[in-house]
């Protein structure tokens, strides 16, 4: 981690960048938050450890409008979001100095709490580059442990890989954390009857408190003005008038990011209610892969996205109808 | 708030038979904005239009909803009536309660309910309508004809004779098309080449016609009156300006094993070739797949012996970009592949041929110099069996459901010609029906039966089996005598179904012209606009639109030409104001809309924006309204909803959906 700070200091000092976009320590050890650092002094708060799951790409939209370059640290999966935003002209590649930072899987306190560990005072073992196999947790109720793997974010179990798709330089090693099938959960839902599916999503989405965290964190939800915040459209009002407003919101959101979602998993990570929101997006990704061949949003900046492209090899509409 | 008048048409009993129009009028009286509603037997009549005009004046209406037939029929009528009465013609909505309602329902209750719902949707949309003003666009006084067969040649000649420049693009090395492959034509039995070649020469010599052979349309952009087309002129490797057409290169070319496309692969040609003797232009092309110079680097004989120095192995494809006001598609047809019809032994015996191959065999310039002989052993066939409807009128999914239309007549022609020239040859025709509508057609067929004693058998052939002695055992059924037939034949001729030339799919996509499930180009109206594509400025000529014989093709080619001339004669076209607009305050500048726009109508500009006090430079979408065709693809692709279509805004469409789902 010190290597990252040193490099940031050097780039600030030689004027390559005007500011640094990274993570700083939060109130607790397990909640570091995205932060801009403008001086060497500021960087004393810089952290990079297993809890730094936050994807910094979206912050580059605003940073692109500022004077000078911004140094941004991107984990391999974050770099896909950055690329997708570049493709959509939302971030300016020229305004970014990207350090591709290594990643050995990110953990989240949510999973620790889900494992029944309450009253957390401190957590040891989530350091980068050498995380422990087991996290040691001091709680009000005594010392507890959880394996690093069990505390890992869902997205790390189905990690896209150790390679950055965009960077100016790379620092640090990455680890292979894949131990699950990416579309296994989607397949489970696909196998349900329509009634079961509806019941499943109703149960999950009923937890939604419409805090908008998923939308605000999502790099694909980068519209200047969201249709749900605009009076020009009736989306918000229409959603309000149904008895199941949250369903309308999440389904409309999933359609809006379809084909552009890189599956970064931020929506599920930030949801305070623990709704597996990534499942909607992953269903779209699975369908796109099935119909148009494997496509990873953000991987190739020049590639035509299947949903906004037409080729002679495209499936005929009848095939979709047959499939249901 | 709009002041809306609703006018419900009976269309005689067309609507009133299944829709209780009085109840529709009463049901929509209380809809928001409606201040007047009435019904009338024929709203499109002069009296009906006057009734609308009177209501507009009397009630100071700002917009009208006409519940009547499809907007394709009378939208223009009612827009004009509204404009004459002093309201903007885009403040008119049509609720289609005929095609979408009365014609498809039998029950008055259901029909009435649906008519009310459709009317409500139109009212909801009209409440959000705003007056729109059409613009103007130019007309480029030049036409493009795609395909240089008889259809393309005729369309080009007619347009050129009217005084407009025409370019013909033909993918093969010569114009002439399928007709140039035919030997004689029905029902007059005159020589096909004798009537075609003068037309080819006339087209080539016409000062207004420019012919691009061995060329293909590569890209089309623009719209009616103002198309921009990229034409790929494939490298001939022979300089057309130098070549004298002496033919020496073809004579001396050592690579003579390429199958002749013109003779349907029944014989071979040299690697440097003109497809046939009367080819226009009489300039050969080099087929690089068979040319030794291109394959091995050694040879170069044609270059050495060419006195004109026309052979140029370095020649490259050339892209020509030109603008056109109108496009005529005349891509023609091919016969279907017979791999699904193995029972006729086409792949097993050289003596089973398609009718088009027989044309070449019968032709003096064909592989047998016009002698009717078996391709396997060169012997004269004594028994010939013709099998009709091979792949046509097919219900088992292997072939085409349609009738290819020309086979009954050309088979009668073949049978008659054979019996005339070789009277000792027995000719049997197996048929499902003999279809001979057309001037002098049935007389022609009867001559084959009565004067030439061709043996017509109603029934199909189940199997053709090549025998060890080289003959073909034909197993069929005679439905009239209700018996199985087994007969020996020396030659079997298959009346193979025709299908649109495969290149049409690509061309239709480039032109955004629709095609049906059989790849025939769709006409704008099956009866009333048979030579116009639904895509404005694109006209259909010949078999690309449906099976036709030569006289019909020529007639349709002329009709397509007239439509094209009608367009080219105009100086300005009125443009549709229902085009896309970007709300620059909502636009993310993400380029999604430009990616999906089929007309290249969207570009991006960096402009200074004041967004509620935030001043910044933003990249935003700008629509070129002359190019935009109002398809709406951008409006659904736009993630932020910044793109909207004038006259069909997202809000209007949702208002319609809401009104329907209420």
DSSP B572-592: EEEPPS--EEE-TTT----SH
A233 touches chain B (CB under 8 A): yes
Chains A, B: CB contacts within 8 A come to 56
Q: Which two tokens stand for residue B561?
A: 């030409």
Report pLDDT for B548: 97
User: Considering only CB atoms, which chain A residues are within 8 Å of B661?
Assistant: none
| pLDDT tens per residue, range A238-283 | 777 777 778 889 999 999 999 999 999 999 999 999 999 999 999 9
Residue A324 has pLDDT above 60, yes or no: no
**Among candidates B387, B381, B358, which has minimal Cα distance to B457?**
B387
The pLDDT of A89-111, averaged and rounded, is 96
The pLDDT of A185-200, averaged and rounded, is 94
| pLDDT tens per residue, range A170-180 | 999 999 999 99
Indicate which of A232, A238, A252, A303 best probes the interface with B, i.e. most B CBs within 10 Å of its own CB.
A232
CB atoms within 10 A of CB B465: 14
Report pLDDT for B222: 86
Alpha helices in B19-70 (DSSP H): 21-28, 46-59
Domain shared by A153 and A100, yes or no: yes
Indicate which of B510, B516, B588, B589 best probes the interface with A, i.e. most A CBs within 10 Å of its own CB.
B588
A90 touches chain B (CB under 8 A): yes
Round the average pLDDT of chain A to a whole number and report it. Answer: 92
SS3 B72: helix
Domain shared by B108 and B178, yes or no: no
Residue A1 has pLDDT above 60, yes or no: yes
What is the distance in angstroms between the Cα of A242 and the nearest Cα belonging to chain B? 13
Domain shared by B325 and B290, yes or no: no
CB atoms within 10 A of CB A25: 16
Measured CA to CA, the distance from residue B93 to residue B122 in angstroms comes to 6
Domain shared by B605 and B638, yes or no: yes
pLDDT category at A317 given cuts 50, 70, 90 is low
- Return the residue of B nearest to A310 by Cα: B596
The answer to the question of residue A322 being in a domain is no
Domain shared by A17 and A150, yes or no: yes
The answer to the question of residue B240 being in a domain is no
Do the chains contact at A225 and B639, CB–CB below 8 Å? Answer: no
Of A139, A157, A180, at which residue does a domain stop?
Answer: A180
Q: Which of A89, A238, A312 sits opposite B589 (nearest CB)?
A: A89
Residue B641 belongs to domain spanning: 580-646
The answer to the question of residue B321 being in a domain is yes
The answer to the question of residue B652 being in a domain is no
The answer to the question of residue A321 being in a domain is no
Report pLDDT for A308: 86
Name the pTM for this structure.
Answer: 0.71
Domain shared by B272 and B378, yes or no: no
Of A129, A159, A180, at which residue does a domain stop?
Answer: A180
Q: B610: domain CATH number?
A: 3.30.70.3270
Q: Which of A65, A89, A233 sits opposite B616 (nearest CB)?
A: A65
Report pLDDT for B408: 97
Please work out, in degrees rounded to the nearest 5, the angle formed at the alpha carbon of residue A259 by the alpha carbons of A256 and A262: 100
Q: Which of A65, A224, A305 sits opposite B640 (nearest CB)?
A: A224
Report pLDDT for B600: 82
Domain shared by B493 and B505, yes or no: no
Domain shared by B230 and B326, yes or no: yes
The answer to the question of residue A324 being in a domain is no
User: Considering only CB atoms, which chain A residues are within 8 Å of B596?
Assistant: 308
Residue A213 belongs to domain spanning: 181-316
Report pLDDT for B221: 87
Domain shared by A157 and A295, yes or no: no
Domain shared by A13 and A161, yes or no: yes
Domain shared by A298 and A245, yes or no: yes
The answer to the question of residue B132 being in a domain is no
The answer to the question of residue B285 being in a domain is yes
Q: How many domains does chain B have?
A: 5
Stated length of chain A:
324
Q: Which residues of chain B have pLDDT under 50?
A: none
Domain shared by A287 and A151, yes or no: no
pLDDT category at A321 given cuts 50, 70, 90 is low
Of B511, B544, B568, at which residue does a domain stop?
Answer: B568
Unique residue bearing structure tokens 């109703």: A202
Domain shared by A159 and A225, yes or no: no
Report pLDDT for A316: 73
Of A130, A146, A180, at which residue does a domain stop?
Answer: A180
Give the list of residues 6+ apart from residue B396 with CB closer than 8 angstroms, or none.
none
User: Considering only CB atoms, which chain A residues are within 8 Å of B587?
Assistant: 224
CB atoms within 10 A of CB B661: 8
Do the chains contact at A304 and B651, CB–CB below 8 Å? Answer: no
Domain shared by A213 and A310, yes or no: yes
Report pLDDT for B209: 98
Domain shared by A149 and A252, yes or no: no
Domain shared by A55 and A129, yes or no: yes
Report pLDDT for A323: 66
A260 touches chain B (CB under 8 A): yes
Domain shared by B60 and B167, yes or no: no
Residue B559, phi then psi, degrees to nearest 5: -65, -45
Q: How many domains does chain A have?
A: 2
From chain B, which residues contact A within 8 Å (Cβ)?
505-506, 509, 583, 585-592, 595-596, 604, 611, 616, 619, 637, 639-641, 650-651, 654
CB atoms within 10 A of CB B514: 13
The answer to the question of residue B517 being in a domain is yes
The answer to the question of residue B242 being in a domain is no
Predicted complex ipTM:
0.88
The answer to the question of residue B216 being in a domain is yes
Q: B348: domain CATH number?
A: 3.50.50.60
Of B443, B478, B499, at which residue does a domain stop?
Answer: B499
Domain shared by A196 and A157, yes or no: no
What Cα–Cα distance (Å) separates residue B363 from each residue in B174, B182, B277? 19, 8, 13
**Among candidates B386, B362, B357, which has minimal Cα distance to B373?**
B362
Domain shared by B178 and B96, yes or no: no
């Amino acid at each position: 981690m010190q290597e990252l700070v040193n490099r940031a200091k050097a780039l600030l000092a030689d004027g390559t960048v005007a500011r640094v976009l990274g993570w700083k320590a939060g109130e607790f050890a397990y909640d570091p938050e995205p932060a801009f650092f403008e001086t060497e002094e500021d960087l004393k708060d810089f952290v990079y450890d297993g809890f730094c799951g936050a994807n910094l790409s979206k912050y580059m939209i605003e940073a692109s409008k500022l004077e000078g370059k911004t140094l941004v640290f991107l984990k391999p999966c974050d770099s896909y979001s950055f690329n997708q935003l570049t493709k959509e002209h939302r971030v300016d590649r020229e305004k970014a100095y990207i350090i591709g930072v290594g990643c050995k899987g990110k953990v989240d306190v949510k999973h620790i709490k889900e494992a029944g560990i309450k009253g957390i005072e401190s957590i040891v073992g989530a350091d980068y580059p050498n995380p422990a196999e087991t996290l040691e947790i001091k709680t009000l109720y005594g010392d507890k442990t959880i394996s690093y793997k069990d505390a890992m974010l869902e997205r790390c179990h189905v990690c896209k890989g150790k390679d950055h798709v965009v960077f100016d330089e790379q620092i640090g090693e990455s680890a292979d954390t894949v131990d699950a099938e990416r579309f296994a959960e989607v397949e489970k839902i696909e196998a349900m009857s329509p009634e079961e599916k509806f019941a499943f999503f109703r149960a999950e989405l009923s937890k939604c408190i419409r805090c908008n965290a998923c939308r605000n964190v999502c790099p694909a939800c980068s519209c200047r003005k969201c249709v749900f915040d605009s009076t020009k459209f009736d989306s918000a009002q229409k959603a309000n008038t149904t008895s199941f407003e949250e369903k309308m919101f999440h389904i409309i959101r999933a359609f809006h990011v379809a084909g552009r979602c890189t599956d970064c998993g931020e929506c599920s990570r930030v949801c305070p209610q623990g709704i597996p929101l990534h499942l909607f997006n992953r269903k779209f990704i699975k369908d796109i892969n099935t119909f148009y061949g494997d496509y990873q949003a953000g991987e190739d900046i020049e590639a035509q996205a299947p949903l906004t492209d037409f080729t002679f090899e495209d499936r005929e509409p009848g095939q979709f109808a047959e499939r249901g | 708030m709009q002041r809306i008048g609703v006018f419900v048409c009976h269309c005689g009993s067309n609507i009133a038979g299944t829709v209780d129009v009085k109840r529709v009028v009463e049901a929509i009286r209380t809809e928001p904005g409606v201040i007047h509603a009435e019904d009338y037997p024929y709203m499109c009549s002069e009296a009906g239009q006057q009734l609308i005009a009177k209501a507009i004046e009397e009630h100071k209406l700002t917009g009208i909803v006409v519940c009547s037939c499809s907007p394709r029929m009378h939208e223009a009528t009612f827009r004009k009536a509204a404009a004459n009465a002093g309201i903007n013609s885009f403040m008119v909505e049509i609720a289609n309660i005929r095609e979408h309602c009365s014609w498809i329902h039998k029950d008055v209750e259901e029909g009435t309910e649906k008519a009310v719902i459709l009317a409500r949707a139109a009212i909801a949309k009209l409440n959000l309508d705003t007056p729109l003003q059409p613009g103007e666009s130019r007309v480029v006084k030049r036409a493009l004809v795609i395909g240089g067969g008889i259809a393309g040649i005729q369309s080009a000649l007619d347009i050129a004779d009217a005084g407009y420049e025409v370019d013909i693009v033909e993918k093969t090395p010569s114009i002439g098309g399928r007709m140039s492959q035919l030997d004689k034509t029905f029902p007059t039995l005159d020589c096909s080449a004798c009537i075609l070649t003068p037309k080819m020469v006339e087209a080539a010599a016409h000062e207004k016609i420019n012919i691009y052979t061995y060329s293909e349309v590569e890209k089309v952009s623009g719209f009616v009156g103002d198309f921009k087309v990229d034409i790929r002129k494939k490298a001939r490797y022979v300089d057309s300006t130098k070549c004298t057409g002496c033919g020496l290169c073809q004579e001396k070319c050592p690579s003579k094993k390429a199958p002749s496309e013109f003779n349907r692969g029944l014989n071979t040609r040299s690697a440097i070739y003109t497809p046939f003797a009367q080819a226009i232009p009489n300039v050969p092309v080099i087929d690089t797949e068979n040319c030794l110079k291109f394959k091995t680097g050694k040879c170069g004989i044609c270059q050495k012996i060419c006195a004109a120095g026309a052979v140029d192995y370095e020649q490259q494809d050339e892209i020509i970009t030109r603008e056109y006001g109108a496009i005529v598609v005349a891509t023609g047809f091919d016969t279907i592949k017979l791999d699904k019809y193995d029972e006729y032994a086409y792949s097993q015996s050289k003596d089973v041929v398609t009718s088009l191959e027989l044309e070449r065999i019968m032709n003096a310039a064909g592989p047998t110099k016009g002698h009717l002989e078996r391709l396997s052993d060169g012997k004269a066939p004594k028994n010939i069996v013709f099998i009709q409807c091979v792949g046509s009128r097919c219900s088992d999914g292997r072939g085409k459901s349609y009738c290819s239309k020309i086979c009954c007549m050309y088979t009668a022609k073949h049978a008659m010609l054979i019996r005339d020239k070789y009277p000792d040859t027995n000719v049997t025709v197996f048929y499902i029906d003999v279809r001979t509508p057309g001037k002098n057609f049935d007389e022609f067929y009867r001559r084959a039966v009565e004067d030439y004693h061709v043996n017509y058998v109603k029934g199909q052939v189940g199997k053709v089996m090549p025998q060890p002695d080289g003959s073909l055992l034909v197993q069929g059924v005679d439905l009239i005598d209700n018996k199985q037939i087994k007969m020996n034949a020396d030659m079997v001729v298959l009346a193979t179904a025709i299908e649109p030339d495969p290149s049409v799919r690509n061309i239709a996509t480039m032109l955004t012209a629709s095609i049906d499930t059989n790849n025939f180009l769709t006409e704008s109206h099956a009866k009333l606009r048979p030579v116009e594509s639904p895509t404005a400025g694109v006209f259909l000529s010949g078999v690309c639109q449906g099976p036709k014989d030569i006289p019909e093709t020529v007639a349709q080619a002329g009709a397509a030409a007239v439509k094209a001339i009608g367009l080219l004669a105009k100086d300005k076209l009125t443009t549709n104001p229902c085009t896309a607009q970007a709300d620059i305050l909502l636009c993310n500048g993400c380029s999604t809309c430009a990616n999906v726009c089929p007309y290249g109508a969207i570009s991006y500009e960096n402009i200074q924006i004041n967004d509620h006090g935030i001043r910044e430079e933003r990249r935003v979408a700008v629509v070129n309204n002359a190019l935009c065709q109002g398809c709406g693809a951008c409006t659904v692709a736009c993630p932020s909803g910044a793109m909207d279509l004038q006259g069909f805004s997202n809000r209007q469409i949702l208002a319609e959906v809401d009104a329907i789902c209420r």
